[in-house]
Copies of this chain bind each other. A is one copy, B any other.
Amino acid sequence: MTTTQLVHQIQTKKSFLCIGLDVDLNKIPAFLLEKEDPIFEFNKAIIDATHDVCVSYKPNTAFYEAYGIKGWQSLQKTIQYLNDNYPEIFTIADAKRGDIGNTSSMYAKAFFEDLAFDSVTVAPYMGKDSVEPFLAFEGKHTIMLALTSNEGAFDFQTLQVKDKEFYKQVLETSKNWKNAENLMYVVGATKAEYFTEIRKIVPENFLLVPGVGAQGGSLSEVCKYGMNDNVGLLINSSRGIIYASNQEDFAEKARAEALKLQQEMETILLHKK
């Protein structure tokens, strides 16, 4: 999917919501556990109920790997269901991969070819040759961790290097990598005050923003400082939407939560014009 197609979808749906499909068998409605593939059934119901109010889904691979082969089958069925039924949706494999060059190529193959995701999240620690193999895929997007939403972000990401904080150096350096136009960045909503500085370094790139909702970030603050002419934001919410209810009405309640966020987004987009 091209960035233009993503922007078009955002404008049409008046939403830049991404729904995180972090499915934990201990949290989904008990009646689903009797199904052959509870994780996929859960995702399918959530997707069918929310696809018109969001533009993206983001399964985090950890939640699938934790269930072994069965988990990977659920992940594969989920991405295939999305690609078959809702091809306009921007799909993100939240995998946070990264390795030496020839190994990163294998990860890129796994997520872009075998599973056919539109994008994958990667970690920057190993530098250029660990990320460029992902960037080489045309029509695919590589979403690199910059400033994450967790407490541990302050352990290393905000250390002073040279004259700036480390995550800013990560942003600066990555702009010079081959096919850097395929880069997006993860920036946590819990650090809204940082967006002004970040936009000085990467004015054009899309930012994937976790941390609204359960983790305490503010949608309006993020938009105030982080939005660009193309919107340039994908706001992720996972637990706040998918676990809105653990009863028969879980998909309906998830839709209600997603709709609330979409409506806030619509208002923000209106005022932006």
Contact = CB atoms under 8 A, between A and B. Distances in A.
A156 B125 contact: yes
A250 to B, nearest CB: 20
Contact of A62 (B66, B106, B115, B151): B106
Interface stretch (A7-15, A40-48, A142-150, A254-262): A142-150
Interface string A144-183: 0100111111111101111000100110010000000000
Nearest to A101: B150
A100 B166 contact: no
A110 B153 contact: no
A150 B71 CA distance: 32
Contact of A65 (B24, B96, B110, B157): B110
Contacts of A66: 106-107, 109-110, 114
Interface stretch (A29-37, A127-135, A201-209): A127-135
A103 B60 contact: yes
Given A98-B123, A125-B123, A157-B127, A65 B152 contact: no
Given A160-B161, A162-B159, A127 B154 contact: yes
A67 interface: yes
A78 interface: no
A124 interface: yes
A118 interface: no
A152 to B, nearest CB: 2
B67 A157 contact: no
A129 B215 CA distance: 14
A99 B100 contact: no
A116 to B, nearest CB: 11
A270 interface: no
A151 B131 CA distance: 12
17 contacts: A22-B103, A62-B107, A62-B110, A66-B106, A69-B73, A69-B76, A96-B99, A100-B150, A124-B125, A126-B152, A126-B153, A127-B150, A128-B151, A128-B152, A128-B155, A129-B150, A130-B150
Given A123-B123, A130-B152, 13 more contacts: A60-B106, A62-B106, A65-B110, A69-B73, A94-B99, A124-B155, A125-B148, A125-B156, A126-B152, A127-B156, A130-B150, A156-B169, A159-B161
Interface of A: 22, 24, 60, 62-63, 65-69, 71-73, 76, 94, 96-101, 103-104, 106-107, 109-111, 114-115, 123-131, 145, 148-157, 159-162, 166, 169-170, 173
